[in-house]
Amino acid sequence: MNSEMKSAGELSLPPLSDVFRRQRLTILGVFVTVFTAIVAVILLLPKRYESTMKVLVKKERADLFITPGHAGENGPLPQDVSEADLNSEVELLRSIDILRPVVLQCGLAKREINGVQAGGANLPVAEEKALRKLQKDLQVNPVRKSNIIQISYVAYDPPTAAAVLRTLADRYLNAHLALHGAPGTYDFFSGQASRHEQELDDAENRLRLFSKEKGLFVIDEQKDLLLRQITEAQSLVASLAAQLRSDNDRIVQARQTLKSLSPRIVTLSRTVPNQQSVERLHTMIAELRNRKTDALTRFRPEDRVVVDLEKQISDTQTALDAATKIRAVEQATDVNPLTQELDSEIAKAEIDRASARAKLESAQATLTNYQSRLATLTSSTTEYDTLTRRAAEAKQTYLLYKQKQEEARVAESLDRQKIANVAIAETPREAVLPSSPNVKVDLIMGCVFAMFVSVLTGWTVESYFSRSGINAEGVIHA
């Protein structure tokens, strides 16, 4: 029994060489039959032509770069297109609102209507069938790692395939512009720009009237000028005050010095001896000596007359010696020039002090005037700054709306010219060669398929005979 099961197992999987040797006629017959059928199907299949189109998706449209001063100033440069952007465009290309007009314009619904029922009740059904068939046959796929969407459509004739894609491209661009555009934007921004221009004129007029009323034209320059003038006036006041103190000190010092000086000084001083008295005494001594000499001729030395004469001579000699020692002093005086110089310096210092005091009062008045003007200017600065800020804000708002108005104008011009951030990178063309059936490839695949079927059939037949115990000649084995 085990030998019978083993024999059955071996017969269920016959070797391939035995299959080809025993079932060669069966394999050949099946191969010829299948391959002939495949060739007939390939030759009888209608030819289908494929037309392709490519759409380039950009992040931003060109109008954003046409606006003056945009690049590098009004915002960042455009970024790369995201996968969500590509998928959005793919869904837009496959939307029914775009495909339905393509079906109607290209007459695809007529192909779904039998006979002459083109205008009958079957037309809506035919349109729906054609729409579904178009959705099925239309291939819309984004190209990996790129900003390109590839679109392909297969039809039974080249003109229809190309016409469908051309119509799709036109409808797609119109729908894209309608979705991404904003009709009436130019009129809106134009009205806003006019209104803000009027507000700018009003703000500038208020600022001009306030500046004229307060004398404010270039307030920063005026402040700087007043600050410089105040600084110079303060320096002048300090200098004049120092000069006035110096003049006061000079006057006080000169007067103190004047008090210690005599108003007159000796200009000439001479010592004169008592000449007349000396001469007279000499004469007297000479006379007394003569008289003594004469007396000695008549009297003795001890006589009273001679003694009296000697005493007179001694007294006269003493008087002569005293007269000789007596000196007379002769002096000449004049006005002290130092007191005159000090009086003159005091008078000059008083004049300088009066002049410095007058200049100081004038400088202080000028400084007070400058400080008052600066205080007035500072008090007016708040309102002036408020008006200036409002005028600047009004100008900035006006320029913004003016720029938006220009961008809207450019955008509408681009919309009219059908210029968008998507472009047809590859226009559809009528195919010369059919895309299907591919005869060479289909024949090769058909040949391979026919061989596989024929071998499988021969193997199946051989296995069946082996299980039944019947050989190729119809002999039943025990």
- pLDDT single digits (tens) 113-151: 654 344 444 678 888 888 888 888 888 999 888 888 999
Q: Return the minimum-mean-pLDDT range out of 80-94, 137-151, 456-470.
A: 456-470
On the question of pLDDT at 96 being above 80, the answer is yes
d(CA 472, CA 465): 7
Q: For 322-354, how does the pLDDT look when each residue is reduced to its tens digit (9 = 90+)?
A: 777 766 565 666 666 777 787 788 888 888 888
The band of 412, judged by pLDDT with boundaries at 50, 70 and 90, is low
Residue 452 · residue 459 · CB < 8 Å: no
If you average pLDDT over residues 433-439, what whole number do you get?
69
Q: Return the minimum-mean-pLDDT range out of 156-165, 259-268, 338-347.
A: 259-268
Shortest CA distance to 301 belongs to which of 310, 289, 313? 310
If you average pLDDT over residues 70-88, what whole number do you get?
64
d(CA 33, CA 22): 19
> What is the predicted pLDDT for the residue at 265?
64
- 94 in helix, strand or coil? coil
d(CA 250, CA 346): 8
On the question of pLDDT at 301 being above 70, the answer is yes
32: Cβ–Cβ under 8 A, 6 or more apart, which residues?
450
Q: Return the minimum-mean-pLDDT range out of 64-73, 202-211, 256-265, 402-411.
A: 64-73
Shortest CA distance to 165 belongs to which of 93, 236, 214? 93
Beta bridge partners of residue 328, listed in sequence order: 272
Q: What's the distance, CA 226 to chain centroid?
A: 33
Q: Say which residue, 244 or 458, is predicted with more confidence.
A: 244
Q: How many CB atoms lie within 10 A of CB 261?
A: 11
On the question of pLDDT at 5 being above 50, the answer is no
Which position has the token pair 């239309």? 138
On the question of pLDDT at 8 being above 70, the answer is no
d(CA 317, CA 366): 89
368: Cβ–Cβ under 8 A, 6 or more apart, which residues?
none
Q: How many CB atoms lie within 10 A of CB 66?
A: 14
Q: For 16-56, how does the pLDDT look when each residue is reduced to its tens digit (9 = 90+)?
A: 676 677 777 887 888 888 888 888 777 776 777 888 898 88
- 197 in helix, strand or coil? helix
> What is the predicted pLDDT for the residue at 468?
66
Shortest CA distance to 17 belongs to which of 459, 448, 461, 470? 459
Domain residue extents for the chain: 1-45+447-478, 264-335
> Per residue, what are the HEC states of 429-442?
CCCCCCCECCHHHH
Q: Say which residue, 57 or 217, is predicted with more confidence.
A: 57
> What is the predicted pLDDT for the residue at 66?
43
> What is the predicted pLDDT for the residue at 279?
78
Beta bridge partners of residue 98, listed in sequence order: none
Quote the DSSP letter at residue 303.
S
- Kindly state the percentage of the chain with pLDDT values over 70: 75
> What is the predicted pLDDT for the residue at 73?
47
